[in-house]
């Protein structure tokens, strides 16, 4: 793997974890200081997670400038591996079927973001 792709993956992961930290803080404040309930939290956190993984794939694809589907997929798989390791090693639980479906959705949107990142931000030299 070229150095350019590794840098792109790091950009994608930084974008994902930075946005996850920000959105988690906002959701926690909403839970604490409003009447935002548990049913709304599960759906809103899923939608926010999908959006964040799309943005992470987009950032990685834009930085890589090639192979957007692979970069987006590896970005999502790295995120999924991190979440799995924290959950398994920290809480001694594996993924449920619902979580596995969520992470498949995360993979799909990150791949889509990676492809759009390569094609939207790529510069093509015309002679």
Q: For 87-111, how does the pLDDT look when each residue is reduced to its tens digit (9 = 90+)?
A: 999 999 999 999 999 999 999 999 9
Provide the percentage of residues in the chain whose pLDDT is more than 90.
Answer: 78
Residues in the chain: 127
Domain total in the chain: 1
Q: Please report which confidence band the pLDDT of residue 126 belongs to, taking 50, 70 and 90 as the band edges.
A: very low
Residue 126 lies in a domain: no
Give the range of the structural domain holding residue 96, as residue numbers without chain letter: 3-121
Residue 77 lies in a domain: yes
Residue 79 lies in a domain: yes
Other beta carbons within 10 angstroms of residue 34's beta carbon come to 8
In angstroms, the CA 95 to CA 39 distance is 20
Residue 127 lies in a domain: no
Residue 83 lies in a domain: yes
Q: For 54-97, how does the pLDDT look when each residue is reduced to its tens digit (9 = 90+)?
A: 999 999 999 999 999 999 999 999 999 999 999 999 999 999 99
């Amino acid at each position: 793997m070229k150095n350019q792709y590794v840098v792109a993956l790091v950009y994608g992961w930084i974008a994902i974890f930075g946005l996850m930290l920000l959105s988690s803080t906002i959701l926690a404040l909403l839970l604490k200081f409003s009447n935002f309930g548990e049913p709304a939290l599960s759906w809103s956190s899923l939608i926010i997670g999908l959006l964040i993984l799309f943005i992470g794939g987009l950032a990685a694809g834009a930085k890589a400038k090639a192979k957007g589907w692979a970069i987006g997929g590896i970005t999502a798989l790295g995120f999924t591996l991190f979440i799995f390791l924290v959950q398994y090693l920290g809480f001694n639980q594996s993924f449920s079927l619902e979580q596995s479906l969520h992470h498949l959705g995360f993979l799909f949107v990150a791949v889509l973001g990676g492809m759009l990142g390569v094609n939207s931000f790529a510069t093509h030299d015309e002679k």
